[in-house]
Structure 1
Amino acid sequence: MDFELSAAQLRFRDEVRQFLAGLPPQTSAAVHDTGTLHSWDVHRAMAGRGWLKAAWPVEQGGQGRDPFEMATLNEEFARAGIPIEGWLIAELVAKTLQIVGTPQQRHEVIPAILGGEILLCLGYSEPDSGSDVAAARTRATRDGDDWVIDGQKMFTTMAHEASYVFLLARTDPDVPKHRGLTMFLVPLSADGVQVRPVHTLGGERTNATFYDRVRVPDSARVGEVDGGWDVMMVALAFERQPAAAGHLLHLLGRALDWARTAGPDGPAPIERPEVRACLARAYTDLEVSRLMGYRMTWLTSRDVLPHTEGSLAKLFSSEALMRAAASLVDVVGADGLLAGHGTGAPADGWIEHEFRHSVVTTIYAGTSEIQRGIIAERHLGLPRATARRDKA
């Protein structure tokens, strides 16, 4: 299949590259070093160029960019090592609200997201139910025209920067767990909300969030009462992306720079067969990940939500990143475990960074085992019992 970019798409790619070339040289390392993979300066600059709403129709104030142009934008930011996780999370909520949100939510919340004014975070996982989000215990109880929310969420990344949490709560404990859930947009400034930092193995900051009798109006509800699972399936179709392919693209670029540089005591590492083999395997995995991503982009361009294709791409790309990072540590040797940018570590410390971070990518948007179960049942047509035995 031919996924070559058109002339217009190539022009947009050049525009993005020029923008990235104009950013301060330390932007990438500085953002990663904070643990918060978001830069308000970059975010506002993107908003100023209209890129946050570039994919939206012109009649809605967007630029009408096609899905391949947006895939190119994401790829170029990844190549430069500029994380835009805050924007990607907010965008998936905006796309979900466009499909299942109320007219008020579409009128008030989406423009604030696309204008670069606010971020959102995802309130799915809990301490006792990570990828099994349907086992959520956070409760939302009806009280007149309001809902009262009590509970705790884990891994609410960007909660310390966001204005709202897109929160899954149990509204009926007496029905099957998938059927008694409802989605809400909860202001993080509301009384009773607490945000506490959680620092991860991958060097990122995520958060635990607590909800103590948090009162929100019924207008904060997204979708039908007890219809939260259907709403979340829409959101997950946007969330399950080959995001780790971007990290692999950046890591491979850094690793190639290291491999091509001769040291004071000998030739460049790329002269060693094991280094070339490692880089070749990583490049092959990268191409497979990118093609899976382009397939999702193609489906999106035809107004198809890539549910199973997202699981395939997410599973492969995250595990490919983990393989590549581990192999690079092996071929670099002990120096591959040196951490920190500007410390003389090989590839400026990115090999060590991705060695830690790659493990975390296998958890985002559902663990690898969750994705395998989805693929087994929905793509291969295996019965649930068979999929579970295979997973075990």
Structure 2
Amino acid sequence: MDFTPHDDLAAHRDAARRWGAEHLRPEWVADERLRGDHHHAELHRLLADQGLLAAGWPPEHGGSAVDERFADAVFDEIHDYGLASDGWITTWMVLKTLQRVGTEEQKRAVIPAALRGEVIIALGYTEPGCGSDLAAARTRAVRAGDGWLIDGAKMFTSTADRATHVFLLTRTSAPKHRGLTFFLVPLDAPGVEIQPVHTVGGQRTNATFYSGVRVPDGARVGDVDGGWDVVRIAMVFERGTRNGNHRPGLLDRVVADRPDLLSDPGAAGTLARLRIDEEVARLLTARAEWITRNGGLPGVEGSMAKLYTSEAAQRQHSALLDLLGPEGVLDQRAPDAPVAGEVEFAFRNSLVDTIYGGTSEIMREIVAAGRLGLPRSRPAT
């Protein structure tokens, strides 16, 4: 595997830059940060209308003729511009999971609609008091005729206020790991309530509540009591995607804004180490994406990428704040904020990087067992 940017990809990067110059608007970034939304509806509609969401997907699932490499370059450009696309990232994770474990009806109905921008899916995993222990889920789903009734609560259901559906982990029987079942629940269903939760990173996430929510059995994803197998697949795709808070290009913008940093040997050394971090993170992520694109599941590779990239992002943003000094904590509303306040925003936003998608401790256990062959630190259940 060779992840060197070859000349045949340079054309896509140049085309993506031209696309960004034509379509991306600075007010979208400011609006997204001030409102705390990590999903911009106008941008999402644009990507859908131009077939960029559907790039690389098979025609039978609504795929477009857009070159997947160009679409990848466009998403890089969007990310580098300072815009998030969390709504699409979580939707993509669920669509990839449906490809593996969904019914034919779900594949025909949900995937094409999502690629057209009509369906956006949030993740309903974490519960109050359960932390990262997904197997401790208490949200109940019980049989009710030919469907199910769901009662419970989820925490950190990000983009639920913008989404159409939630990929909901529920408990359908008593055993901890073998009593879980997934459902794709419409967020406009009677009995669903969404309450905002504003975070120190500036993002709006949500608490969601489910009171007697009725869904048909066709909304079930995977086998009854087979949710643990489904979540293991879904988490592989989550960890194998690009970390949402890692900001390629931020180093260049800081140096362009403060070129005097390069004249200080200590500061220059720090910037060099951060650049190495960026390159290692890029290579690890590229390997996980390559495995996914070729039909594999990057289990250990995705965990390696998630672990390194999330910790590298925190190191980078903390170090840049130190280099910028007191001015570094100015946000975008301050006229003299370095890099328009992006470093301050990135630092706050990256605080949760090592928690989302599994903590660093869990990632280290997966790598230790799956790649190094070390024994598990606790017995499997």
Normalised TM-score (structure 2): 0.93
Quote the residue 2:361 is aligned against.
369
The aligned residue for residue 235 of structure 2 is: 236
Residues 161 and 34 of structure 1: is their aligned pair in 2 closer, same or farther, counting only changes over 3 Å?
A: same
Compute the displacement of 1:301 (Å): 3.3
Would the alpha carbon gap of residues 196 and 372 (structure 1) be closer, same or farther in structure 2, given more than 3 Å must change? same
Code of the residue aligned with 2:93 in structure 1: it is L
Q: Any conservation in 1 of the 2:300–2:370 contact (CA below 8 Å)?
A: yes
1:353 Cα deviation (Å)? 1.1
**Contact in 2 for aligned 1:156/1:208 (Cα 8 Å):** yes
The one-letter amino acid of 1:4's match is: T
Question: For 1:109 and 1:240, how far apart are their aligned partners in 2?
Answer: 22
SS of 1:52's partner is coil
TM-superposed CA distance for 1:151, in Å, is: 0.7
Name 2:103's counterpart in structure 1.
102
Say whether 1:216 aligns with 2:208.
no
CA contact (8 A) 1:53 1:62 kept: yes
* 1:236/1:151 CA distance change after superposition, 3 Å: same
Q: Matches of 2:379 and 2:34 in 1, distance apart? A: 40
Q: Which of 339, 344, 348 is residue 352 of structure 1 equivalent to?
A: 344
CA shift for structure 1 position 6: 4.9
Once residues 258 and 323 of structure 1 are traced to their aligned partners in structure 2, the CA distance between those partners, rounded to angstroms, is 20
TM-score, normalization by structure 1 = 0.91
Determine if contact 1:201/1:360 at 8 Å carries over to the other structure: no
**Counterpart-to-counterpart distance in 2, 1:244 and 1:29:** 21
- After superposition, the C-alpha distances for 1:252-306 in whole angstroms (9 at most, x for unaligned) are 233222222xxxxxxx333222321221111110000000011112222331110
Distance (Å, rounded) in 2 between the aligned partners of 1:225 and 1:306: 25
1:88 correspondence with 2:89: yes
Cα deviation, residue 342, structure 1: 5.2
Say yes or no: does 1:310 pair with 2:302: yes
Alignment map for 1:1-392 (pairs within 5 Å) = 2-6=2-6, 8-22=8-22, 23-58=24-59, 60-63=61-64, 71-173=72-174, 175=175, 177-241=176-240, 243-244=242-243, 247-260=246-259, 268-341=260-333, 343-385=335-377
Shift of residue 69, structure 1, vs aligned partner: 5.1
Flag structure 2 segments of 5+ consecutive residues without an equivalent.
none
When residues 35 and 199 of structure 1 are mapped into structure 2, their CA distance, relative to the original with a 3 A threshold, is same
- Aligned to 1:26, the other structure's residue is in SS state helix
Tell me: CA distance 1:210–1:59, structure 2 relative to 1, closer, same or farther (3 Å).
closer
Cα shift readout 1:210-254 (whole Å, capped 9, x = no counterpart): 111111111110010000111111111111135337633142233
Give, as a single letter, the amino acid of the residue that structure 1 aligns with 2:144: D
Q: SS of the counterpart of 1:76?
A: helix
The Cα offsets for residues 72-101 of structure 1, whole Å up to 9 and x where unpaired, read as 343222222121111111111111112211
Query: How far apart, in 1, do the equivalents of 2:234 and 2:134 lie?
Result: 13
Q: Please report the RMSD computed on the Cα atoms of aligned residues, expressed in angstroms.
A: 2.1
CA offsets 1:1-24 (integer angstroms, 9 cap, x no match): 522345553333222221211222
CA–CA separation in structure 2 for the residues paired with 1:20 and 1:352: 24
Q: CA deviation at 1:47?
A: 1.0
**Amino acid paired to 1:328:** L
